[in-house]
Amino acid sequence: MKAVISFKGKALQQEIASGMYAGRKIGEKVSGSNVAGFEGYEFEITGGSDKEGFPMRKGVGGQGRKKLLLSGGIGYNPKEKGIRRRKSICGEEISERIVQINFKVVKEGAKKFEEFFKKEEPAAEGEEKKE
């Protein structure tokens, strides 16, 4: 399962154990200790998608896929105002069918979020680091 963690306009993808957040709903706050390196963080679940790519939508009960008449928002973006369409979307509860969960950082831990993006460049053989 993939976790997409966003904070201040930046996003980071991490692999997490599948089934770890089963039964949780969109809008719930969860601890970051289950994701490697995010001890002390607190996340809010903001959405996700299932294995066929259908998005999760807040306010739709259950775990399964449903067909709703949508006029906009998550799952449908109409080209003109007033257009409605019946679209398939997933419920707000996380199940084993969900392959991606989107998180928003609510509380930052001891390690700053920007530090996850820094990559150390290995020095080439025979070269010394210039400081």
Query: pLDDT tens across 83-101, in order?
Result: 999 999 999 999 999 999 9
Number of domains in the chain: 1
- In a domain, residue 130? The reply is no
At 127, list the tokens. 């070269």
Give pLDDT, residue 90: 93
C-alpha R_g of the chain: 19
Give pLDDT, residue 91: 92
Burial class (CB in 10 A: 0-12, 13-18, 19+), 113: middle
Give pLDDT, residue 124: 56
Give pLDDT, residue 4: 92
- In a domain, residue 123? The reply is no
Give pLDDT, residue 117: 75
Helix count (H) and strand count (E) of the chain? 0, 7
What pLDDT, in 10s, does the model give residues 18-77?
A: 778 888 999 999 988 878 778 888 999 999 999 999 999 999 998 889 999 999 999 999
- In a domain, residue 108? The reply is yes
Phi, psi of 88, deg, nearest 5:
-90, 130
- In a domain, residue 64? The reply is yes
Q: Tell me which residue range forms the domain holding 92.
A: 2-116
- In a domain, residue 127? The reply is no
- In a domain, residue 122? The reply is no
Q: Are 51 and 97 in contact (CB under 8 A)?
A: yes
Strand ordering across the sheet containing 98-107: 10-15, 2-7, 98-107, 42-50, 29-31
